[in-house]
Amino acid sequence: MSLSHLATTTIPSATAGNNPLHRIKSVQPRVHVSKRVSYTTCEKKQKKDGSDVNHVVDRRNVLLGLGGMCSATATMGSQGMSALGAPLAVPDLSKCHLASDGETKINCCPPYSTANIIDFQPPSSREPMRVRKPAHLLTPFEVERFEAAITAMKNLKPDDPWSYMQQATIHCTFCNGAFDQAGTKTLLQIHGSWFFLPWHRYYLYFWERILGKLINDDTFAIPYWNWDTPQGMKMPKIYTNEKSTLHDGTRDKNHLSAVLDYKYAYNDPNPVGPEVDEVIMANMCQIDRMFKESKHHPALFMGKPLRAGQPVPTNASGSCENLHNMMHQWVGPPVSPYYNMGNFYTAARDTIFFGHHGNVDRMWDLYNKFRGGKPEFKDHDWLESEFVFYDENRQVVKVKVKDCLTPEQLRFSYQTQKLPWTDIGRKCKKVKAAKKRSAGGDELKLIPVSEFGSQTRNVNTEIIRAIVKRPKISRTKNQKEDASEVLFIRGVDVPGGAAARFDVYVTKPIQGFMAPDLGELAGSFVKIPHGHHFSHHSKHKASLELGITRLLEDIEAEDSETLVVTIVPRHGKATIEGIDIELFDHDDDD
């Protein structure tokens, strides 16, 4: 399905989808995992003739992404978990403990320590469909109803699970380490993995239904901030009215009427004059590429898999979550501790959080339709994983990922809007070509570039450039359909709970040199400040994974044996251990 059909095509709800990917060293025919021998890196495997079997790595090793199967086996085994992984289970509500915001201990526990947990029953098809609209298109009456619902929530007693602060605290509970995973000593964290999108979908779902119950409206739907379209690339006015209950005084006042820039880092100046149109175009090009590069590789969009008993690394986010992080930083204050929107601990205290995440959820819905309605993973550990929420009937309910794969399963939808970024590919190429021509004589001022090397390098104030070898050049269209080319930034480490951002650019080398032009933006590492730490287990570093298959077409680098990868520090401090490029077999069931 092409991007240009997303806004008008209806896709039926599905219950099966693609397998996760396995790493390969060359493009090979698709083979289902169930039809191949699975090998781990914990022990050497050999063919019957005695030769090494090294062309396939067990898909579980890749999906762990957390130090390999060997360390995961040790971690799980010591906690009574299966080395093969398992779905997340509901935590023991009686064992909530203090969470952390940096060095400060905070209480994010729900106002109940025991509950009669019941299984969630998806809403009946007889229920009215709740239709979410863009925030900037709400009618005065709809704004009034939204404000009335928020006011009613804010007027509840502080210890009421429905109250505004208790609902906001849910985000801290599951993002700052208030619970351990069931039966383990591993902190429960839903960010930075494939749980980011389904957990937040349920979070908004119950928040929306509680608000509707408070104003006795079973059709009430929350608005979404559609920051992916030019009209929505500003803070919606319904949130900036100082007399409204939707207002929050902690936001960056410099951005109340500014145009949103996806490349924003703290304290960057706002775009002005001709820059505004350039920024809007660049934003849409980034959305377009995010969808195209990740179409066959859901982990690039959704985030890496996480099994029960496995600690989440500091960042295993997909491209959707990384983009989402930037919006948090742009809305929140530019100074530490970045309350409210700019910090995990307090983010949901600002009502715009739910408008922002409404659009994040909509991005997942559009991505699902772009892929033809197939669930991104049909992995048992994903589909059967469980979360717990307080619902609109004042019950604590256990929900499963498999029951929220589409908005329609939960009886809500997003009002159809024109998506200008779905047909922007050619315009993006023209803009890049014009910039290249305008460089003029600068192309002669070449900069020497060498390999990354074996030493950890600081991403602080200096730009890092490295020549990186590609696994295969000049791939055919069919080969690209079978495997994605992925750029890895290995061993990313950010100290403590600090905020950080660095951008990654790719270009072709010129006999071991590069032009002053950085090349094309492949993606960014964006970390929201938070206090979630990993004292319960050994530290695991992150890796940033960026699809570059379409990017290489755009910069006409498909026949280049090497690429120049440039890391540009934007904010905070980080270290990286290496850069490389690999091919990932799609292993689709198409």
Catalytic sites, residue numbers: 171, 191, 200, 324, 328, 344, 357
**Long-range contacts (CB closer than 8 Å, 24 or more residues apart) made by 423-426:** 423/3, 423/4, 424/281, 424/284, 424/285, 424/288, 425/288, 425/292
DSSP 109-158: --S-S----EE--PPPTTSPPEEE-BGGG--HHHHHHHHHHHHHHHTS-T
Q: 55: Cβ–Cβ under 8 A, 6 or more apart, which residues?
A: 24, 25, 26, 28
Helices (H), 295-351: 298-302, 319-331
d(CA 267, CA 571): 10
* DSSP strand pairing (562-571 vs 500-507): antiparallel
User: Collapsing DSSP states into helix, strand and coil, what is residue 437?
Assistant: helix
Beta-bridge partners for 397: 118, 389
DSSP 28-93: -----GGGS----TTS--B-TTS-B--SB--HHHHHH-SSHHHHHHHHHHHTT--TT--------G
Edge to edge, what strands does the sheet with 396-400 contain? 118-119, 396-400, 386-390
Q: 74: Cβ–Cβ under 8 A, 6 or more apart, which residues?
A: none
Let me know: does 370 contact 3? Beta carbons within 8 Å.
yes
Q: 448: Cβ–Cβ under 8 A, 6 or more apart, which residues?
A: 512, 513
Instruction: Read off the tokens for 221.
Output: 């739907």
User: Collapsing DSSP states into helix, strand and coil, what is residue 590?
Assistant: coil
d(CA 332, CA 330): 6
Let me know: does 88 contact 180? Beta carbons within 8 Å.
no
What dihedral do alpha carbons 303, 308, 309, 313 form, nearest 10°? 10
d(CA 124, CA 69): 41
- Tell the burial category of 276 from Cβ atoms under 10 Å away from its Cβ (0-12, 13-18, 19+): middle
Provide the residue type at 263 as one letter.
Answer: K
d(CA 197, CA 374): 16
Let me know: does 76 contact 153? Beta carbons within 8 Å.
no
Let me know: does 401 contact 385? Beta carbons within 8 Å.
yes
Let me know: does 153 contact 163? Beta carbons within 8 Å.
yes
Helices (H), 470-509: 477-482
